[in-house]
Amino acid sequence: MAVVLGANRYGKAQVRLVRVVKDGAVHHLKDLNVSCALSGEMDAVYLRGDNSAVLPTDTQKNTVYAFARTHGVDQIEDFALVLARHYVASQPAVHHARVEIDEYLWERVPAGGPAGPPRSSHSFVRSGREVRTCVVHHDRDGTTSVMSGLKELVLLNSTGSEFQGFAVDEFTTLQPATDRILASEVTARWRHGHAGGAFGESYSEVRHCLLQAFADTYSLSLQQTLYEMGRRVIETRPEVCEVRLTMPNKHHFPVDLTPFGLDNPNEVFYAADRPYGLIEGAVLDDGAPDAGSAWE
C-alpha cells in the first residue's frame, strides 16, 4: 500500500487587529479577525521537515499588522486581496493564498451634554449587529475570487408564517401551524462575479435585500424564505452571481396556559435554543461559473 501526502495548507489564524485612523479630533475604528492560509510546493516540510519553503506563521501575523499601517484598512475585501496577492507574489513556493476576515462593528457613543457634538469623536460601543465577513482566494495564475458575507444576523417575523402539509410517519407528533413565529440567525455568503469593486456599497445593498425579502415573504416554509432572500439579491445586485445561506430555525413554541385558566392566542412563547432545524441552500445566476474550492 502506497502512502502519499494529500491536500494541505498552513497559516496564521485569528490575528486580532484593531486599526484607529485619527482624522484630527475624530477617530475611526476598524476591528478585525484575520486568518491567512498558504499552499503550494510544501511537500518537503511535511515529508522531511524541510522548512526552507515555509514562511513562518509569525511572519504572516506581522504582515497583517504592517499592511494595516502601510495600506490602511477600509473595506475588508480590499484588505484581504492585498494580503493574498502579496503572499503569492513574494514567495515562490506559495501558489495559493486564502485570507478570511471577520469585522466587528462599533458605533460612536452619543455625547453626554446638550452643548456637545451629536456623537463622540473617540468613544465607541460594540454594535449589536451582525459580523461582516469575507474570504479571498488568489492563485499564482492570477485567478482571484471574493466571497463577502455576514453571520449572526438575527431576524424574526412575529406572523406571516405557517408550516403545514408536510410528510408524516409513525414518529410524527408535530401539528400543522397556520400562524407561527419565524426566526433565524442568518449566515450568508455571496460570490462576486469579478474581483474588485465598491465592496462597502455592495455589502449594504445585499444586506438590505436579505432583510427586505425576509420581511416581505409570506412564508410557507423556511426553505421558501431562504430562496426568496437569495433570489432578491441575485435579481437586484448584478455584481453578485451566487448566494449561500445557512438559516437555523429558532423555534418559538406557544406556551400552554390552560392549567392556569388562561388562553394563549399566540402571544406567549417559549424560545427554544436546541435542538433546531437547520436549513441551508444556494441561489445563483444560472450562467455563473462553478466556484470550485473558493467556498472552502
Nearest to 34, CA basis, from 8, 10, 11, 9: 11
57 assigned to active site: yes
Choosing from 30, 137, 138, 251, the catalytic residue is 251
Give the DSSP H or E segment for 11: strand 10-23
96 is catalytic: no
- Which domains can be identified in the chain, with CATH numbers? 9-142 (3.10.270.10), 153-288 (3.10.270.10)
Which pLDDT score is estimated for 108?
Answer: 84
- Give the pLDDT means over successive 10-residue stretches in the chain (296 positions): 95 96 90 97 96 96 96 96 97 97 90 58 82 96 95 95 96 94 96 82 96 95 97 96 96 94 93 94 88 72
Residue 25: the pLDDT is: 86
State residue 111's pLDDT score: 66
Separation in Å, CA 202 to CA 5, 29, 237, 252: 40, 20, 8, 33
Determine whether 61 is an active site residue. no
CB 145 within 8 Å of CB 136: yes
Please provide residue 29's backbone torsions phi and psi, each rounded to the nearest 5 degrees: -120, 135
From 12, 138, 192, 250, the catalytic residue: 12
| Catalytic position from the list 57, 208, 246, 252 | 57
pLDDT at 12: 98
Per-residue pLDDT at 127: 81
Per-residue pLDDT at 273: 87
The pLDDT of residue 212 = 95
